[in-house]
Structure 1
Amino acid sequence: MRTIDLPTQGKIPVLGLGTWRLGEDPALRREEVTAVRAAIAMGYRLIDTAEMYGEGGAEQVVGQAIAEALRAGEVRREALFVVSKVYPHNASRRGTPAACARSLARLGLDRIDLYLLHWRGQFPLAETAEAMRSLVDKGLIAHWGVSNLDTADMEELAAPDCAADQVYYSLGERGPEFSLLPWLRGRGMPLMAYSPIDQGALAEDAGLQNMARRRGVTAAQLALAWVLAQPGVVAIPKAVSETHQRDNLAAAALSLSADELAEIDRLHPPPRRKKPLSMI
Structure 2
Amino acid sequence: MEIAGEKIYPIGLGTWHMGDDLVKRTAELAALQTGLKQASSTVKIAIDTAEMYGDGNSEELVGKALQSVSRENVYLISKVYPWNATKEKLPQSLAASLKRLKTDYLDLYLLHWPGEVPLAETVTALEDAKKSGLIKNWGVSNFDVSDMQELWQLPAGKNCAANEVLYNLGSRGIEFDLLPWLNKQQVPLIAYSPIAQGDSLGNQFLQDGGLQEIATRHGVSIFQLLLAWAIRDEKTLAIPQSSNKDHVLTNLAAAKIQLTKKEWQKIAARYLAPTKKQPLAVL
Work out whether the TM-score is over 0.5: yes
Matches within 5 A, 1:111-130: 111-130=105-124
CA RMSD in angstroms comes to 1.4
Q: Distance in 2 between matches of 1:203 and 1:46?
A: 26
Q: Distance in 2 between matches of 1:130 and 1:13?
A: 30
| Amino acid in structure 2 at the alignment position of 1:189 | V
| Amino acid in structure 2 at the alignment position of 1:55 | D
Q: Distance in 2 between matches of 1:146 and 1:28?
A: 30
The secondary structure found in structure 2 opposite 1:274 is coil
Matched with 1:144 is 138
Q: CA deviation at 1:205?
A: 4.2
Q: Confirm whether residue 25 of structure 1 aligns to residue 21 of structure 2.
A: yes
Q: Distance in 2 between matches of 1:234 and 1:151?
A: 19
Q: Specify which of 111, 126, 130 is matched with residue 132 of structure 1.
A: 126
Q: Distance in 1 between matches of 2:218 and 2:255?
A: 14
| Amino acid in structure 2 at the alignment position of 1:162 | C
| Amino acid in structure 2 at the alignment position of 1:29 | R
Matched with 2:206 is 204
What does the per-residue CA deviation read over 1:97-136, in whole Å, with 9 as the maximum and x for residues that have no partner? 1100000000000001100001111111111111100000
Matched with 1:15 is 11
Q: CA deviation at 1:9?
A: 3.9
The secondary structure found in structure 2 opposite 1:142 is strand
The secondary structure found in structure 2 opposite 1:170 is coil
| Amino acid in structure 2 at the alignment position of 1:276 | P
Q: Confirm whether residue 40 of structure 1 aligns to residue 30 of structure 2.
A: no
Q: CA deviation at 1:29?
A: 2.6
Matched with 1:166 is 164
Q: CA deviation at 1:10?
A: 3.3
Q: Distance in 2 between matches of 1:220 and 1:205?
A: 12
Closer, same or farther: CA 28–240 of 1 in aligned 2, 3 Å = closer
Q: Distance in 2 between matches of 1:222 and 1:9?
A: 27
The secondary structure found in structure 1 opposite 2:226 is helix
Matches within 5 A, 1:1-280: 3-4=1-2, 6=3, 8-43=4-39, 45-67=45-67, 69=68, 75-158=69-152, 159-201=157-199, 203-206=205-208, 207-280=210-283
Q: Distance in 2 between matches of 1:253 and 1:170?
A: 18
| Amino acid in structure 2 at the alignment position of 1:258 | K
How many residue pairs were aligned? 270
What does the per-residue CA deviation read over 1:138-168, in whole Å, with 9 as the maximum and x for residues that have no partner? 0000000000000110000112100000000
The runs of 5 or more residues in structure 2 that have no matched partner are none
Q: CA deviation at 1:42?
A: 3.5
- 8 Å contact kept, 1:208–1:223: no
Closer, same or farther: CA 231–30 of 1 in aligned 2, 3 Å = closer
Instruction: Give percent identity, aligned residues only.
Output: 45
Which of 159-168 and 241-250 deviates more? 241-250
- 8 Å contact kept, 1:203–1:218: no
The secondary structure found in structure 2 opposite 1:114 is strand
The runs of 5 or more residues in structure 1 that have no matched partner are 70-74
Q: Distance in 2 between matches of 1:256 and 1:21?
A: 32
Q: CA deviation at 1:203?
A: 4.8
Q: Distance in 2 between matches of 1:61 and 1:217?
A: 30
